[in-house]
Structure 1
Amino acid sequence: MADVVFDQASRIYTPGAKPAVDRLDLQVEDGEFVVLVGPSGSGKSTALRMLAGLEEIDGGAIKIDGENMVGVPSRDRDIAMVFQNYALYPNKTVGENMAFPLKMAGIDKSVRAEKVREAAAILGLTDYLDRKPRALSGGQRQRVAMGRAIVREPRVFLMDEPLSNLDAKMRVSTRTEIASLQRRLGVTTVYVTHDQVEAMTMGDRVALLADGKLQQFASPADLYDKPKNAFVAGFIGSPAMNLFDATVSERGATIAGHEVELPADVRSTISAQNLSSVTLGVRPEQWKVGSEGGGGLTARVDVVEELGSDAFLYGTLADASGNLDDTASLNGGDSISVVVRTGGRSGARRGDRVSLIPETEGLHLFHPESGDRL
């Protein structure tokens, strides 16, 4: 096992162009499961490939167990990678696929067989060792790919969106298996995904990237409760946090004509920065929902997603007079969307008008220009 350090690591494909990975600073502790997440083009897969030795490091350094990997070939880094497409040999059995890297390393046949048996037992593949990949399900093939990595006993596991080819149900069960397996083996693991739900449910810590830059590196709970900026706030959470352009008022901030009272210390922070507006964030579960006229903001329900135990209401806020302009969003006007989480079978229907009051405790405020948390 080993720790992994990205020290101002950069990757630049075209001189003078914006880096694909821009001075990434990241420290993965020995035995930790860290997830790199972000939208397409954020640099997460490039960072993983730099660690694997599949991409050059154009600036800074990447260290494994204190050893600088700049210029070190991939085969000499003692890492094992699990890819999105499994990369299994179709003409070899499960056992032969798992044993192949050991065979290439010149490991004795009896030792190879023992290691394969051990890995197969861990992964529930003992009964499939003589089958070819075509006779396996997608989840089983992914476990074979993981078994091939496990038998090598590497210092670091690297996983590049390994669940992307699985159906929704299989993704949920397999991500649980991967997280459980990693904790049993205790091998340092760096895992890449574009799915923030995967990131939040699997990682000890999560690194969120955008445009090649690290936005925040923290535990899933801290990312959700204390997003460093508006981008993190809008990316983490499903559905995403509601973000409103709010006008600063005497007692707080005003959204669609409704004043949200803010704590005194928050108002002092806003005042000290001489801000006339802020970005106000409200999670879907931070709304109190009532009948129209019950105070707060008025919203029309446009879509209801019933999930059994929960429901999500997608709506449009009315203006200060309670008016809703149906053409505003089509004409680039001031239509403001809102997402609300309620209990299952809330009774709300499309077209209903409801009252929304944000819970002031736990509100998120960000600078209107930089997006930094206030």
Structure 2
Amino acid sequence: MAAISYKNASCIYEGADKLAVDSLDLDIQDGEFVVLVGPSGSGKSTALRMLAGLEEIDGGAIEIGGKNMVGVPSKDRDIAMVFQNYALYPNKTVGENMGFALKMRGVGLEERNRKVQEAAKLLDLTEYLDRKPGKLSGGQRQRVAMGRAIVREPQVFCMDEPLSNLDAKLRVQTRTQIAALQRRLGTTTVYVTHDQVEAMTMGDRVAILKDGRLQQFASPTELYDHPVNAFVAGFIGSPAMNLFTVPVASGGVRVGERLVALERDQLTAIAAAGLDEVTLGLRPEQLEIGSAEDDGLLVQVDLVEELGNESYLYASFPDREIRAIDGTSATIVARSPQRAPARIGETVTLRKREGSAHLFHPETGDRIGA
């Protein structure tokens, strides 16, 4: 086990005009489960491959256990990789697949079998040790790939989207197993995914990347409650936070013809920044659905999604001048614990709960206020 430090680590691919990973600073504690998440092309997989020694570090450094890994071959970093495609030998049994790396390192048969049996017990694979991978389900094959990594007893686990090939139900089950297993083993783990729900449910801390640059590194609750910018705010949460640019008014901001009141400290922060418009963020679950006559945001219902235990209401503003942060006409999503909270085409009011508004700079996207 070992702590990991990215120190202004950068990587650029040959022929590219910008860095794939740009001056990444990240300190990962010994035994911590850290998730790298971001959209396609954000640099998350490149950052993991730099750690594993599969990509060159073109600037800065990466340390494992206080030792600089620049120039150190992948095989000498004491890291075990788990990939998306399992990479199992089809002609070998589960037990042989799990113990193959140990065999290549010259570990004796008795010791090899002991470690394989221990890992198989942890992963509920004992009864499958004599089977070939072709006789296993996708989830079982991924557990075999995990077992192959575990028997090596590495300092660090590197996992590159290991659940991408599984169906939705199996993904939920397997991510729970991986998170629980990591906590039992206590091995420092860096896990890459594009799925923000996966990131939020698995990681002790989550690093969000965009265009090769780190946006925020914090616990899941900190990311959700206090996103540092509009990108993080819109990326974390499902459905995403509602974000639109609105003018500042006395006591709050104006959304169409309706005033949304803000907290005193938020009004102070807006005044200090000298802004006459801001990006307002409202999470769907912080909105309450009322009648058209109530105070709040006046919207027209476009779609209602019934999920059994809750409903999602998708609506648009009668005032088409209200803009989303990408400049298009704004829409809004609200979550309701009630079934059929409104009908399509109906006009309703969405009231925000006290203290639930997030504010961001309309140009830089940076958070305004606490």
Identify which range, 160-169 or 252-261, moves more after superposition. 252-261
Superposition misfits of 4+ residues, deviation over 4 angstroms = none
Residues in 1 aligned to 2:144 and 2:105: alpha-carbon distance in whole angstroms: 19
CA contact 1:90–1:133 (8 Å) conserved in 2: yes
Q: How many residues align?
A: 366
Aligned 1:87-102 pairs, distance under 5 A:
87-102=87-102
Show the counterpart of 1:311: 311
1:37-60, CA deviations, whole angstroms, 9 ceiling, x for partnerless residues? 000000000000000000000000
Quick one: which amino acid aligns to residue 225 of structure 1?
D
Q: Does 1:171 align with 2:171?
A: yes
Identify which range, 244-253 or 50-59, moves more after superposition. 244-253
Using the TM superposition, give the Cα deviation of residue 354 of structure 1 relative to its aligned residue in structure 2, in angstroms. Answer: 1.0
Residues in 2 aligned to 1:208 and 1:240: alpha-carbon distance in whole angstroms: 15
1:329-363, CA deviations, whole angstroms, 9 ceiling, x for partnerless residues? 9xx99742000000141442222221111224121
Match 1:370 to one of 344, 364, 369: 364
Using the TM superposition, give the Cα deviation of residue 139 of structure 1 relative to its aligned residue in structure 2, in angstroms. Answer: 0.1
Show the counterpart of 1:213: 213
| TM-score normalised over the length of structure 2 | 0.96
Aligned 1:127-166 pairs, distance under 5 A:
127-166=127-166
Quick one: which amino acid aligns to residue 206 of structure 1?
V
Using the TM superposition, give the Cα deviation of residue 281 of structure 1 relative to its aligned residue in structure 2, in angstroms. Answer: 0.3
Q: Does 1:342 align with 2:316?
A: no
Quick one: which amino acid aligns to residue 7 of structure 2?
D
CA contact 1:260–1:360 (8 Å) conserved in 2: no
1:310-333, CA deviations, whole angstroms, 9 ceiling, x for partnerless residues? 1110111122xxxx79xx99xx99
Using the TM superposition, give the Cα deviation of residue 250 of structure 1 relative to its aligned residue in structure 2, in angstroms. Answer: 1.4
RMSD of Structure 2 on Structure 1 (CA): 1.6
Using the TM superposition, give the Cα deviation of residue 15 of structure 1 relative to its aligned residue in structure 2, in angstroms. Answer: 6.6
Show the counterpart of 1:358: 352
C-alpha spacing 1:39/1:16, structure 2 compared with 1 (3 Å)? closer
Show the counterpart of 1:110: 110
1:262-315, CA deviations, whole angstroms, 9 ceiling, x for partnerless residues? 122211111111101000100001112111222222211111111111111011
CA contact 2:311–2:341 (8 Å) conserved in 1: no
Gaps of 5+ in 1: none
1:138-178, CA deviations, whole angstroms, 9 ceiling, x for partnerless residues? 00000000000000000000000000000000000000000
C-alpha spacing 1:76/1:191, structure 2 compared with 1 (3 Å)? same
Aligned 1:1-374 pairs, distance under 5 A:
1-14=1-14, 17-319=17-319, 335-374=329-368
Find the residue that maps to 2:366 and give its secondary structure: coil
Residues in 2 aligned to 1:361 and 1:131: alpha-carbon distance in whole angstroms: 57
CA contact 2:304–2:340 (8 Å) conserved in 1: no
C-alpha spacing 1:16/1:167, structure 2 compared with 1 (3 Å)? closer
C-alpha spacing 1:69/1:357, structure 2 compared with 1 (3 Å)? same
1:213-251, CA deviations, whole angstroms, 9 ceiling, x for partnerless residues? 000000000000000000000000000000010101111
Find the residue that maps to 2:55 and give its secondary structure: coil
CA contact 2:139–2:174 (8 Å) conserved in 1: yes
Quick one: which amino acid aligns to residue 348 of structure 2?
V
Quick one: which amino acid aligns to residue 342 of structure 1?
S
Residues in 2 aligned to 1:310 and 1:98: alpha-carbon distance in whole angstroms: 44
CA contact 2:93–2:133 (8 Å) conserved in 1: yes
Residues in 2 aligned to 1:126 and 1:89: alpha-carbon distance in whole angstroms: 18
Find the residue that maps to 2:46 and give its secondary structure: helix
Quick one: which amino acid aligns to residue 344 of structure 2?
R
Gaps of 5+ in 2: none
| TM-score normalised over the length of structure 1 | 0.95
Residues in 2 aligned to 1:172 and 1:71: alpha-carbon distance in whole angstroms: 38
Q: How many percent of aligned residue pairs carry the same amino acid?
A: 66
